[in-house]
Chain A
Amino acid sequence: MMSIKKLFAGVAVAALAGTAALAQDGPVRIGVVTPISGTYAGIGQQVSWGLDMAAEEINAAGGINGRQIELLYEDSEANPAVAVQKAEKLMTASDVDFLTGTVNSGATLAVGQVAERAGKLIATTVSFSDAITGSGCSPNVFRVNARAGQQSAALAVWLKRERPGAKVFYLGPDYEMGRSTVAAFRKNAEEVGAESTDEVFAPLDAKDYSQYFGGIRAARPDVLYTSVAGNDTVRLFTQLKDFGLLEGLTVLGASGTVTSQNIGAIGAAAEGFITGVGYSTQIDTPENKAFVEAFNARNGAEPDLYGADSYGLLFAYKKAVEAAGSTDTDAVRTALEGLSWETPQGIKTIRSGDHQAMQPVYVVEIKDGAFTIADRIAGEDAIGEDVCDRF
């Protein structure tokens, strides 16, 4: 009798161990929910270039603990509702180990909640909204790119030095990211003595910004801060130029406002634009030069912040999984907290209190159609306080 019981127990244990081994044997599956269509399609393109390139390099070097990385793409259409559906599909039907790629901040917040319920981890490499690692933080959500607050802190340092006491007008896209970036910059700018005139929020995908120009003219600002992105920037900037509003006006913006994706279409209207950004192709290190060269060779285009941050993410995940010894959610979360790893833009460290990556932030200006670095703010000075109180 005893021996039969033992035998059964033994079989059960072996069977359990067998399935566990199976799950840890195949490829590491990473779901990518990113906009392949819509106004942010150009951003999604950089995200996929960065991730694909990193996955190829990691796989060629033997993968993660001997397992190859498999990326599974879904189109989020930059729409939170669609992103949630696609994320659920990836987590249940495809049983991915990890999720990334969300661009729209609303989508990141929504997918983060879904991931938390499903017991999976996600990381955004793009979204700016402070809420993601602040008031809306989640134990299952990480961010490896610079958030609105980090970018604004860097811009405020520049504003104080170059345009003391400036009158500032704010124009953002009317959703989570726009309101968060404007609020963050407004707070930082007012702390260094700038005077706020007015703020306007335009719908995402707005055709015509000229309807706001009356308000801008009436306010007579020295500085315009904007956080529109993608194609919206092309329209805003060229229309500002057409209406002669750029004369005597300094335009500051979020790091996603002007990128290598849209600078060509904006043309001369982008000249003099200044932003705080976590990445620039101009960063003068051997690692970055090698990265830019390889990225160009593979994709036929320069990397921008999204491409670089997405590329860097997979190396953080690889390091965390190797430290944890598995892709188990709790083990990888513990390994990611406080993790420091090498990226093209230098060493990044994930703050364990709110899952926000600390990194140096650069003040970048567009001169003669190219991004040039005007200043560098150390990671500790730009990160801001940890306001996450959920874990």
Chain B
Amino acid sequence: MIEFIQFVLAPQMLNGLALGISVILVALGLTIIFGLLDVINMSHGEFYAIGAFGALALSAFGLNYWVLIALVPVLMIPLGVITERYLVRRVYDGADRHVSTLLLTYGLALILEDVLKIMFGPNTHRPENPLPGATEFVGVFIPTYRLFLIAIGIAVILVVAFVVYRTRLGAMVRAASFDRNMAASLGVRVSWVYSGAFAFGVALAGLAGVLLAPVYSVFPTMGRDFILMAFTVVIVGGMGSIWGAVMAGVVLTQVQAISSLIVSPVWSEPIVFGVMVAVLMLRPQGLFGRIGHA
């Protein structure tokens, strides 16, 4: 029994946590863009892929991996600003914002995926793992990089939550999303806030791309990888809630990790989506409310 916990259950849960943190990193940007801009960003997965390919391309110039973790998200900001200014904003005030922004970002996703394919070819790449080897953690072996991923993931979540909920900047952004006319009349530059919030979400996607590249490898269609799970997490957590996404991310990946010990692994995904359907039926608004609305 103890052997089962030490060699099977505990590693499984710890791996599930690493996967959960990965999903949350991707979902964070998604939930922020939805919560603050009311835009369902279908191209989020491709921004995640661009972050990973960006790290790959820059590391070819000899840049250290630790530098890239800081540099790539910064380089993603202009991409986010341009996308918001010249694409999203054009359809933002139309009659059916949800449909038009969803179609726009979906089209963008298809284009970006093919651009990556043309630039880098269809094959898989993988940056060298900057922290090779495994560490013993309360009697359980876990690759050192995954421990680092869990630690930095928690730090990123805390920083993002702090910025959104506890700073003056965050208050301005939340105000603009709650009532943009009122915020504008109080002197908030709403157009800058929207660009900034979108770019912030895109930068987070890029950061997730860099951080996950050594574990999950880099290839042009990688954007589709986490996006389904990330959307599930955002829906279950409550569209646009940060804490909701974190809670849902941890719970759903644990459901997946533990259920795959009992049922055939192929069934663990239907179980996760079953949980999503159940949440949507019983609590359509998700577990938590939206940023700026609760």
Contacts and interface: CB of A to CB of B under 8 A. Distances in A.
Given A207-B19, A235-B217, A242-B132, A214 B7 contact: yes
Contacts of A39: 221
A202 B142 CA distance: 21
A266 B117 CA distance: 20
Contacts of A243: 134, 141-143
A41 interface: yes
A319 B260 CA distance: 51
Nearest to B145: A242
A265 B15 contact: no
Interface residues of B, number: 44
A94 interface: no
Contact of B15 (A42, A205, A206, A208): A208
Contacts of B38: none
Nearest to A36: B122
A39 B220 CA distance: 9
B123 interface: yes
Interface string B121-137: 11111101100111000
A296 interface: no
A119 interface: no
Given A207-B225, A208-B15, A238-B217, A218 B7 contact: yes
A323 interface: no
A45 B219 CA distance: 14
Contacts of A242: 129, 132, 134, 143, 145-146, 215
Interface in A206-240: 206-208, 210-215, 217-218, 230-231, 234-235, 238-239
B8 interface: yes
A244 B141 contact: yes
Contacts of B274: none
Interface string A282-293: 000000000000
Nearest to A260: B123
B55 to A, nearest CB: 14
A214 B19 contact: no
Interface string B74-118: 000000000000000000000000000000000000000000010
From DSSP, what is the main secondary structure of chain A's interface residues?
helix
Contacts of A42: 122-124
Contacts of A41: 117, 122-123, 220-221
B247 interface: no
A38 interface: yes
Interface string A184-216: 000000000000000011110111101111110
B265 A244 contact: no
A70 interface: no
B145 A211 contact: no
B16 interface: yes
A231 B124 contact: yes
A218 B265 contact: no
A261 interface: yes
A135 interface: no
A267 interface: yes
B289 interface: no
A234 B122 CA distance: 14
A272 to B, nearest CB: 17
Contacts of B260: 211-212
B173 interface: no
Contact of A215 (B8, B19, B221): B8
B271 interface: no
B134 A244 contact: yes
Contacts of B225: 205, 207
A261 to B, nearest CB: 5
A265 B123 contact: yes
Contact of A217 (B8, B19, B132, B265): B8
A120 to B, nearest CB: 28
Interface string B233-268: 000000000000000000000001100110011101
B117 A231 contact: no
A213 B11 contact: yes
A254 B217 CA distance: 21
A174 interface: yes
19 contacts: A36-B122, A38-B221, A41-B117, A41-B123, A174-B266, A201-B264, A203-B265, A208-B15, A208-B19, A210-B11, A211-B261, A214-B9, A239-B215, A242-B134, A242-B143, A261-B123, A265-B126, A265-B217, A266-B126
Closest 9 A-B residue pairs measured CB to CB? A41-B122, A214-B8, A242-B143, A210-B15, A265-B126, A265-B124, A231-B124, A42-B123, A234-B217
Interface of B: 4, 7-9, 11-12, 15-16, 18-19, 117, 121-126, 128-129, 132-134, 141-143, 145-146, 215-217, 219-221, 225-226, 256-257, 260-261, 264-266, 268-269
Given A207-B226, A235-B217, A239-B143, 11 more contacts: A37-B122, A174-B265, A207-B19, A210-B11, A211-B16, A211-B265, A238-B129, A265-B123, A265-B217, A266-B126, A267-B126
